[in-house]
A and B are shown apart, each in its own frame.
Chain A
Amino acid sequence: MSDPIIKIQNMNKWFGDFQVLKNINLEVEANKKIVVCGPSGSGKSTLIRCINRLEEHQEGDIIVDGNELSEKTKDIEKIRAEVGMVFQQFNLFPHLSILDNCTLAPIWVKKMPKKEAQELALDQLKKVQIDDQANKFPGQLSGGQQQRCAIARALCMQPKIMLFDEPTSALDPEMIKEVLDAMVSLAKGGMTMIVVTHEMGFAKEVADEVIFMDEGMIIEKADTKEFFANPKSDRTKLFLSQIL
């Protein structure tokens, strides 16, 4: 058993007086796929935003790939470059073409030569099947295409970990599948993934473990089969009965 790539210990976080995350303990090993689910407002998104320090936690430790995240962390950019993130609202850069969206960070953050970065970007775009849209602008693409581009953009940084923050929640139903397909093939490629989603079909297909959160706490954490077949807490049972 290898060392966990993400280790969260006794983490607490407040927004003002309101405690969003309560005593979170979580270990994720390399190449594992974790699905986080739970009702809205339960702190799922905040949890994964803490992992690349888009949100700051107040208590406890978060260790990502051997680096502890705290105010003292000097080169947080370096850690973020190792952790890709895909957002609910895609957050593509609207003033740049699809290709430039993908090459921007590799060129300026990783100092990759432009040509190499473009080859890499086209390669990643091909994997999510939008390489033919490379010269268009985000505003000209459908939601599903934009989200696949966002996945390609994150992958162009060749991250060790990918975080997905409800990647399909803002999409039309018929576009959800194309995004999920891209994520499934990514998972099969062996990427470490933490996915916040309500797509239970996706969880059943690829997840190694499922975490159920409510009111800022991890209520249940179990192997996928176990989680769906035999949920332990009543809150989880209620949630599953409503969502499935």
Chain B
Amino acid sequence: MQTLNFLKPNRDNIKNYSIIGSFLVLVSLIDVISNAFLKVNLTSFLPGSLTSLFPLIIGLIGLNMMRIDYSGNKKLDLLNKNINTNNFNALLTLVILFSIIKALPQSLSWMIFDATISGDSKDACTGTGACWTYIKVWFRRFMYGMYPNEFHWRINTAFILVIALGFVGYFMKENLKKYLALYYVIIYPVIAYLVIYYLISGGSFGLQWVETGAWGGLSLTFIVSFFCLIFCFPLGMIFALGRRSSLPVIKYISICYIEFWRGVPLITVLFMSSVMFPMFLPEDFFMDKLVRVIIAITLFEAAYCAEVIRGGLQSLPRGQYDAAKSLGMGYWKMHIFVILPQALKLVIPGIANTFLALVKDTPLIFVVGLAELAGMLALAKTNPKWLGFAMEGYIFASIVFWIICYAMSKYSYNLEAKYKTER
């Protein structure tokens, strides 16, 4: 800006300019903070409209004065390079900063200072803040659904067992490592299924039978996500290889499969699995609704996995195939030892993406009557005793889902770093 040229520092008094500039920015920040938190208007002596603009103008002038190229001060240079490159960016910085400061007191007081957590009924929530009592009272329902309270230990035990079994791979002896893939693709899912079947479903070993309709809450989210993740990956791998096969029958079956499942919305697939599918089955054949839903989601997500993996396969240079072939490796050896280890490494971000989407798609099973975490919320918020707390419920659910998904994406970054190789 031409008019602001007099504010440009010259070489001789860089220090003065940076001190005055940071002082002005500080003044503007103090003004906004005191306004937001203490409800004190320091600039009440100014005419109305100017009062609200005052911090912005002062801050802008301050940032303008601080914008010194090669000041020699590392922190100042970093600041200038990132959020203070020109007047427009300085303005954006200030507006965003001030908005956050202004929004903070209200949200903090709603979520924490004015919130209620004591008591065990709606009557406890009389304040203006959030009613965390609601979450507290419903917590077990959100975690375990309609599963009988006295049997919750069965779910906990089953999960601990399944997680422990998942770590077996880390402690396998060197000479057993070659069975690692076999373990995770076939043995582990089967054992996990048996553990969950006998512990959570019960019906034998003196454990009372609990039908899957009563399962729910976060534990159901975990069960559905777990089985879908563990099965959709190998299935996707098979279809990815199939789509690149030179045998026309396999190739076209794979293409049809992938295009079919990618073309259908998940919600219709779920409806089909629970409403239509039983009609095609023989009378005496019974398949649990939960199992049908898990199969449906698995088949659906496998198509997405297949395309992600195919992307990885295609990004490998042809020379890798040539080299493996020239050493006398057949199709399977070539893929198992040379192609897939490299391709799968490349698709970790894409697979993580698909898996995250899968976890966040699980609430859709509510449409067929299975209430996992988000489904339980929907049930709870229509409970006549607890009307009007949808907001708290959704905030709770978002935090839980965010933690799960963030953990997954962190894990995928770790995997990426661990298996990084130079080309």
* Interface residue ranges, A against B (CB under 8 Å): 49, 52, 54, 77-78, 80-85, 87, 89-95, 104-105, 108-110, 137-140, 150, 153-154, 157
Contact = CB atoms under 8 A, between A and B. Distances in A.
Nearest to A92: B323
Interface of B: 317, 319-320, 322-330, 333, 337-338, 341-342, 345, 419, 421-423
Contacts of B322: 49, 54, 85, 87, 91
Nearest to B320: A91
Contacts of B419: 95
A137 B422 contact: yes
Given A91-B319, A91-B320, A104-B337, A154 B327 contact: yes
Contacts of B325: 52, 54, 80
B328 A109 contact: yes
B327 A104 contact: yes
Contact of B326 (A78, A80, A92, A108): A80
Top 5 nearest A-B pairs by Cβ distance?
A: A139-B422, A81-B328, A91-B323, A91-B319, A105-B327
Contacts of A54: 322, 325-326
Given A95-B341, A95-B342, A108-B337, A157 B327 contact: yes
Contact of A139 (B326, B330, B337, B423): B423
B178 to A, nearest CB: 10
A105 B327 CA distance: 6
B422 A140 contact: yes
A75 to B, nearest CB: 9
Contacts of A81: 327-328
Contacts of A91: 317, 319-320, 322-323
Contact of A78 (B320, B328, B342): B328
B329 A95 contact: no
Given A77-B330, A80-B327, 6 more contacts: A54-B322, A77-B329, A85-B322, A89-B319, A95-B341, A105-B327
B323 A157 contact: no
Contacts of B317: 89, 91
Contacts of A92: 323
A37 to B, nearest CB: 22
A44 B412 CA distance: 45
26 contacts: A54-B322, A54-B325, A77-B329, A77-B330, A78-B328, A80-B328, A83-B326, A85-B322, A87-B322, A91-B320, A91-B322, A93-B324, A93-B342, A94-B342, A94-B422, A94-B423, A95-B341, A95-B342, A104-B327, A104-B337, A105-B327, A105-B329, A108-B329, A109-B333, A137-B421, A139-B421
A95 B328 CA distance: 19
B287 to A, nearest CB: 40
Contacts of B330: 77
Contact of A93 (B328, B333, B338, B345): B338
A110 B329 CA distance: 10
A205 B169 CA distance: 54
A77 B328 contact: yes
Contacts of B342: 93-95
A122 B320 CA distance: 23
A51 B98 CA distance: 72
B319 A157 contact: no
Nearest to A82: B328
B118 to A, nearest CB: 57
